[in-house]
Amino acid sequence: MSTLSTLAGPGYPTRGPALREPIAVVGRNDAWDQVRTDLAECGTALLHARLADWEPDEPDGPALRQLLGRDWSRYLDIAHPEIRRRYAASRLLLKYAAGAVLAADPDELELSYGPTGRPYLRGCDQIDISLSHTEDLLLVGLTTLGLVGVDAERADRRLYGKGMGRHVCTPYELISLANLAEPQRNPALIRLWTLKEAYSKAIGQGMQFRFTEFGFGPDGKPARVHRPDGTPGTGDEWAFRTFLLSNGYCVSVAVYDAGFGRAMDTRFLTMLDEECVEAITSTLASGEGPGRR
């Protein structure tokens, strides 16, 4: 695996919070120690997996129904088998990953969606999540810092050409792309695309925030959001990074550090403040609760 730039390496600088390479996850009990380590040390963990490794054993069985919870009816509503496979596998991976870092049973975690479709784990605001899947790749981002967005595309997917850049790029980016040698333009545009998708997912806007209204600088430098004229639009509270996986996918991540510090204990149950629970319990026991007069 490498970052996209030829300048990339272990010391490749990023602005903002540290971001390590995505961890490959093969089995249900695989690699979670590394995921927990990345989350503890960086505040963010990225992981990727093959679709085939995360398909449910029984696509219509009770185990999957239990795991999907409220997503079950949405899952059943998906007519196309390929989309159903990706839907189930991506949620399986996400819930196992979240369960590993929250010390919770994956079945206990409820995936909900905000007004713009942004997913979150209901009742677990200590961790933010992002999900991307394309072809046979599943990608998950987890952070305790604030917000995370991830996106993946095949690095060789054809995007550049025939006026496409006008819908994807700022004027500054269009000039930067035009200055590249022809073979470099498509991979550079794929990098920009995945960075924009990742940032849009992190802020919960999707394509409503037009890709021509914000941009990124050229590869090889720490990435940050630029205004259409190329001037900086974000500071060190955001971190962006792009990786080229050995299986040919270009993966980008955007992380926002809300400034609350890193959560050292992300376990599901410890997020309930013990003193608060005790106060409520004793109030209810004494008969002074709001339901008793």
Q: Report the interface residues with other proteins, using CB under 8 A.
A: 78-80, 82-83, 134, 153, 157, 159, 162-164, 166-168, 193, 197, 206-208, 210
Which residues, other chains included, contact 200 with Cβ-Cβ below 8 Å and sequence gap of 6+? Answer: 149, 206, 207, 209, 211
Q: In 3-state terms, what secondary structure has residue 103?
A: coil
- Decide whether 156 or 288 has the Cβ nearer to other proteins: 156
- Measured between alpha carbons, how far is 115 from 128 in angstroms, rounded to an integer? 16
> What CA–CA distance (Å, rounded) separates 12 from 223?
11
State which residue, 9 or 163, has the beta carbon closest to other proteins.
163
Closest distance between other proteins and the C-beta of residue 29, in Å? Answer: 31
Provide the minimum distance between the beta carbon of 117 and other proteins in the complex, in angstroms, as a whole number: 11
- If the CB atoms of residues 162 and 293 are measured against other proteins, the closer one turns out to be 162
Please name the residue ranges forming H helices in 80-235: 81-102, 165-168, 171-178, 182-203
User: Rounded to the nearest whole angstrom, what is the least distance from the CB of residue 137 to other proteins in the complex?
Assistant: 13
| Nearer residue to other proteins within complex by CB, 164 or 279 | 164
Q: Using the structure block, give the residue that is written with the tokens 């995921």.
A: 35
Q: Which one, of 197, 125, 187, 178, lies nearest residue 159 by Cα?
A: 187
**Vertex 197 angle, CA 219 and 125, to 5°:** 115
Pick between residue 207 and residue 264 the one whose CB is nearest to other proteins: 207
Q: Which is nearer to other proteins, 206 or 261 (CB)?
A: 206
Q: Could you count the other beta carbons within 10 Å of the beta carbon of residue 269?
A: 10
**Pairwise CA distance, residues 55 & 71, whole Å:** 16
Structure tokens given for 181 = 């040698």
Q: How far is the CB of 95 from other proteins (least distance, A)?
A: 21
Q: Shortest approach of other proteins to residue 253 CB, angstroms? A: 18
Looking from the CA of 51 toward its CB, the CA atoms found within 13 Å total: 13
- For the bound state, the minimum distance from the C-beta of residue 175 to other proteins, rounded and expressed in Å, comes to 19
The DSSP call for residue 56 is: -
CB 81 to other proteins: min, Å: 8
Residue 24 or 159 with smaller CB distance to other proteins: 159
